[in-house]
Amino acid sequence: MDDAMNKNHLRYLEWKNKNLDVFQKIQETAYLTMKRGVRFSMDQVVHHVRFKVFFEGYRDAPFRINNNHVAYIARDLILSFPRMAQYVRTRKVKGEDRNGSMPRV
């Protein structure tokens, strides 16, 4: 497994565990967008959630979403909702095999 991928993936998993509420907002937004039947980027979803959390004051505690996490968020959501793969394009990340599978951590 590549060290850079491993670090990014581990950092993402740490972020997700600390920010499950934000991850859930991202998941809900992506799911609703998928149900509309339009292609979208996970970047759009993450920016939308950043905007909503900041401007609507949804959460008192500050949070950050590292742009390196977006690829892993997309893969997590595709695992949860396989149909989402039709609507979200992903690029290969370090450590991913040719089938698009991530090594287990």
Q: For the CA atoms of the chain, what is the radius of gyration?
A: 14
Indicate the Cα dihedral angle 8, 9, 15, 19, nearest 10°: 140
* Separation CA 102–CA 105 (nearest Å): 9
Please report, for the chain, the start and end positions of each structural domain, with discontinuous segments joined by +: 3-86
H helical segments located in the chain: 3-18, 20-35, 42-56, 70-80
pTM exceeds 0.95: no
pLDDT, tens digit, 9 for 90 and up, residues 14-65: 999 998 988 999 999 999 999 999 999 999 999 999 888 777 766 666 677 8
∠ CA 16-6-75, nearest 5°, is 50
